[in-house]
Structure formats: C-alpha cells, structure tokens
Chains A and B, each alone.
Chain A
C-alpha cells in the first residue's frame, strides 16, 4: 500500500508544482537579502543570523503571501485522494488486495505527513538557504536581534536555545499543516466533490481567523498562534488536539461505514 501511495504521489503534477512554489517562496527572501559587498563593520549594530533573518520571524511580503496560502499548500497535495479513489472506482480494486482499515490508516498517515511537509517546505528551504548566507551567531536581545519580543512565542527559548526554538516551530507548523490536510481528507468521506474537499481547510481556516478576532479573542486566532508568532496560549494545544483527534475519528468512522464494494 505504501509503495503504491508513493508512486501515486510522485506521479501527481501538483506535488512538483507545489514543491516548485515552495522553493520560490523560500528562496526569494534570501535572494533579496543576500549579503553583497559588506565589510566586517556592516553588521555591527544589527547582526544578521539565520535565526533572526528567518522568513517566519522577519515578516516580509513573501511570508505574508505564504501565510495566506498555507492551508491550500497543505491540502492541495493529497487530501482529495480518497474522493478520487471513490469517484474513479479505484477503491474497489484496492480493497480486494488490502484490508479496509489498513487502507484508511495508510491514507491518513501519508496525507498527514505529506500535507505537513509541503506546508513547512518553504520555511525549511528558507532557513537552510539563510545558513549559507549568514553565520550562526548567538542571539542577543539587546544587540539588535529582537524578532521575538516579550509578547512572542517562548521568548527565552529563542535566545537560549535557538535551534530548539526553530525545531519546535517547524514541528508545530508541520502538525498544523498535517491537521489541515487531514480535515480535508475527513470531509471527503462525506463529500465527493474533489474541489470542495481541497478548499475546505482554507475556508475553515479563514472562518476561524475571522471569527475569533471579531469577538476580540485575539489569543485564540489560528493564524496568530501558528503563523504570526503570537504569545503561547493553551488554545494552540487545543487546536492541535481537537484537529488531530476530530479528523482522525471522523475519517475512520465514516470511512469504515462507507459502502465501497
């Protein structure tokens, strides 16, 4: 099943298109800030490092566009696969060779991992490219390196263990991307329209992002917590937990019940 999944994914043009888009989104800010003709004194007052220059923390217009299409990047790559199998009748052939539960579990895991990876890919490319451009100097809040303020996400961690901070950010965004992709997959058990399935996470994300700020509950803003470096809040864990468990239970329950053959 896994082998089949990988061959299917690699034959999808959308995967390569999204990877190319991710590469562009990640590299463009680096190209713009690539050091040229600088002296030793140049970074005296505002030293640059991959940590402070990372597109996630140094918000540029490229990052704003990336944040806007984040849910689409996560969902577009594979979350319509179940609906596609159903519409084409391929699911019948697959289920003659493999147990239904195993099929559903593998599909969920692959979609989650792929959605998460594609969603964080631009940030990963950006950080790696920045490591080629700037030295890994220590972060110092009082030395012009203050992208994470007191109202930011785990400020102490950023200044004491920047690599752990970056890894944690990647991990959280990966989970968030995976959950968005899983929500689309879960919807495909009820709706067979592939387009609706692909767009659902984007609409849900926008809906939540309008709802909480409109009630003045900015600490609960989904984009603020995951994409805009807001201060850590328990609702972040709630979103991850509810999103993961909700999509998993919904997908598995409805998937098992669905009449396929």
Chain B
C-alpha cells in the first residue's frame, strides 16, 4: 500500500468519530484549564506561562504526568479501541485487501492521532497559559521560578540558553509526541491480548502510577515524556528520554506488525 494512501485512510478513520472528538475536545479544555489553575498556585516566584504548562516538578502543569493520566491515556485508549473495532471487522479487511494494509492504516492512524493530540494539548495549554499569565517567558528572569529554585546565579546563567521559548516549546512538542505515540502503540499491542479496553486503561494507569510514584529506578513512559527541572539543567536528558520513547515505540511497531501478519480476522 502506498504510504500516502495509508495516511489518508488513517486520518479518515480517525476523523470519522465526530461525537467522540467533540466530547474529547470539551473534556480536554476542562481538564487542561483545571490543571493550569492548579499549577498557578504557590506564588513564591514570578509564575509564568511555562510554569503552568510544564511545571518543573514534572508532575503538575497542563503537559506533565497528571495530564497523561487524566487526558492522554483515556483519550488514546478510547480512540484506538474504536479504531481497531472498526478496522478489524472482516468486511473492512476484505475491502482493504490484505492484513498488511489493515496494519498500515492502523499504524498511520496511531501516528496521526499522536500528532493531532500533541498539537491540541500544546495549543490549549498555550492558550490557557497566555490567558492566565501572558506570553512572557518568566523562566529567563532572575525572579522566575527556575532561578529561585536554583538559588545560584552562575548555575542559572549557565542554563538560560536551554530555557528559551523556542527550546521549551520544541522539547514539549517532541516529548509529548513520542509519549503519545508510545501510548498508542502500547494500546494496539495490548489489544492483541486483551479484549476489554477498560482492562487496558487500568493497566496503563497502573504503569503511569508506578512512574508517578518513582517506584522503579527508570521511567516507563509518562515520566520519560514529562519534563522536570533536571531536564532543563541537562538538556541531553531530554534527547535520551525522547530516544527511549521512540525506540520502545519502534519495537512495539515491529512486534505488532508481526502479530498482525498472523491475525485471524474472521473468527
């Protein structure tokens, strides 16, 4: 199947759930506004837009771990489940002509969903942040939260090139996109073994909880896709985290492809 056709089919399949998308958009607006309001509290520093978007705790903020639990996991599992239910019907597979085409369209849908969700989450976060705090990047100021936390003028000066508006937005885009991609592929993978999507959601929320509580010495997915203070001090960690998310997504992609080749769509 031509890549263009797979992407076209993937997007068409995704956008066919009009009502679900409407509910998702409303839910995202509500939760993201709430998360931004929560991150606004504790005004011990010149709290700015990026404190609301990516609070340096790595947990609060409208794009950090709480967002993954409250928005990303439920939304992705809902849409991927509806997509697989539609794409794995025998008639649909016959219409597409082969298993690999079914798989290609599903994979394209997962990638497009991650991209759309990333743009949506970052767009809403940015908009709410501007409405609440204005567009100014206060992290670059000596009265900003990062400077206050570091409490060391030299250390702060050394990290200011890492926290420019462009760098912050790029890092947020890359980590969120790969994070959503991993959740999408993980959902597709689990769908092979578990019929109930609700069990998939409980598994993913549990894994996110393990990440949230730092139970394991290494991140699983939500911690790797969130940005905390140490990431801004050492920006290479953002690259490593993104590569980790990408590598796991790629491994899952290969495994699911092999599984799809043997899947029986008629039973």
Contact = CB atoms under 8 A, between A and B. Distances in A.
Interface string B24-38: 000100110111111
B35 A195 contact: no
Contacts of A69: 202, 205-206, 209
A36 to B, nearest CB: 22
A163 to B, nearest CB: 30
B70 A206 contact: yes
B202 A72 contact: yes
B60 to A, nearest CB: 10
B31 A195 contact: no
B69 A61 contact: no
Interface string A54-98: 000000010011001100110110001000000000000000000
A210 B70 contact: yes
A206 B31 contact: yes
Contacts of A211: 30, 34
A196 interface: yes
B38 A213 contact: yes
Given A199-B201, A207-B31, A214 B70 contact: no
Contact of B78 (A72, A194, A196, A216): A196
Contact of A72 (B27, B34, B201): B201
A211 B41 CA distance: 14
B131 interface: no
B7 to A, nearest CB: 26
B198 A195 contact: yes
B197 A72 contact: no
Contact of B197 (A68, A73, A195, A210): A195
A202 B201 contact: yes
B205 A72 contact: yes
Nearest to B69: A68
A190 interface: no
Interface string A188-212: 0000001110110011001100110
Contact of A210 (B38, B81, B199, B213): B38
A237 interface: no
Contacts of A214: 33-38
Contacts of B144: none
A72 B73 CA distance: 13
B74 interface: yes
Contacts of A194: 198
A65 B70 contact: no
Interface string B182-201: 00000000000000111101
B78 A199 contact: yes
Closest 3 CB pairs of A and B: A214-B37, A61-B213, A210-B34
Given A68-B212, A206-B31, 17 more contacts: A14-B196, A61-B210, A61-B214, A65-B210, A68-B69, A69-B206, A72-B205, A75-B198, A202-B74, A207-B34, A210-B30, A210-B31, A210-B38, A213-B34, A213-B38, A214-B37, A214-B38
21 contacts: A14-B196, A14-B199, A61-B214, A64-B212, A65-B209, A68-B69, A68-B208, A195-B78, A195-B197, A195-B198, A199-B201, A203-B74, A206-B70, A207-B27, A207-B30, A207-B31, A210-B31, A210-B34, A210-B38, A213-B38, A215-B37
